[in-house]
Amino acid sequence: MSWIDIGDVTDIPLRGARLLKTHLGCIAVFRTAETEVYAASNTCPHKGGPLSEGIVHGQSVTCPLHNWVFDLNTGQAQGADDGEITTYPVRLEGTRILIDAASVTRLSAA
């Protein structure tokens, strides 16, 4: 994998998120714990809520519009809700957040 440095982990508050703008759309980068980061699409599939403005808890995020909860590991909606968000591979190298370059640059086949 090829990795892109997208910032320092301290740029994201604990249990918070920041947006990464790509030609594929906005990706929310979440920080759930001191050294735990995740990346996922910023748009809730239910009503299009901005997940980066949601509540981050454990390894999940709750949509600010209608309380859908998504697992940041898998992207699956939790509970009775049927939905999924796209997740992207990220890792920490020291305090730097790296995202998989291929996952944010792939083109749609449609």
CA distances from 60 to 17, 42, 82 (A): 12, 13, 15
Residue type, 74: T
According to CATH, the topology of domain 3-102 is Rieske Iron-sulfur Protein (2.102.10)
Half-sphere CA count of 34, side-chain side, radius 13 A: 1
Question: Which pLDDT does position 7 carry in this prediction?
Answer: 96
Question: Which pLDDT does position 68 carry in this prediction?
Answer: 93
Question: Which pLDDT does position 23 carry in this prediction?
Answer: 82
Question: Which pLDDT does position 109 carry in this prediction?
Answer: 47
- The SS3 call for residue 54 is coil
Contacts of 86 (CB under 8 A, 6+ apart): 40, 41, 75
pTM strictly above 0.85: yes
In tens digits, the chain (110 residues) has pLDDT values of 799 999 999 999 999 999 999 887 899 999 998 889 999 999 999 889 999 999 999 999 999 999 999 999 999 999 766 799 999 999 999 999 999 999 887 654 44
Question: Which of 110, 94, 107, 90 is CA-nearest to residue 20?
Answer: 90
Q: Please state, in angstroms and rounded to a whole number, the distance separating the CA atoms of residues 45 and 28.
A: 14
What residue spans define the domains of the chain? 3-102
